[in-house]
Amino acid sequence: MRPHPRIRKTIKWGGLVISAALLSLTIWTSGWDHAWSRVEATHMSTLGVGEGIAYFRSFKLGPGLTDPDGSSFSQSLRVDPRNIKWWVRSNRGVYDRLIEVPLWTPALASHIASALAWRLDTLARRREKHGACPSCGYDRAGLAPSSPCPECGKAA
């Protein structure tokens, strides 16, 4: 079964845009930290981007450490660009939880999916141009255009 052309086109261009955006965000956040924190009665959660990672931190609060409005946003805290983290890190303790995902990992995954879609589309176009079956590459010279491929059985 051949994938729908719009799906492949969406994967090709969408993956390219997503990977470019994530790589730009990785470079941009290598020296900055942007975070959103939520403080509740018993715990504090922080979601942020900085030092080339996306992170989530959550920990339990002790007595008397609550915030009256419940949320805050901090940005443009200068960090050292040499502290960029390269690997996924997860830590779960009794009172805290930390998950860090480097931004280059989802960028690489979307780039690989995009590159694969570009390659498959290029191969299919090249096969159709030379009169070969777009699915298996069998030479269809001398066959009727509406007849199925003798090699794989798929309609052209």
Q: Model confidence over 60-115: pLDDT tens digits?
A: 876 654 444 455 545 545 555 566 677 888 888 877 888 989 888 888 999 999 99
Asked if residues 55 and 36 have their Cβ atoms less than 8 Å apart, the reply is no
Mean pLDDT of 51-63: 81
Work out the angle at residue 143's Cα, subtended by the Cα atoms of residues 129 and 6, and round it to the nearest 5 degrees: 40
Looking at residue 115, what is its pLDDT?
Answer: 92
Q: Is the pLDDT of residue 33 over 70?
A: yes
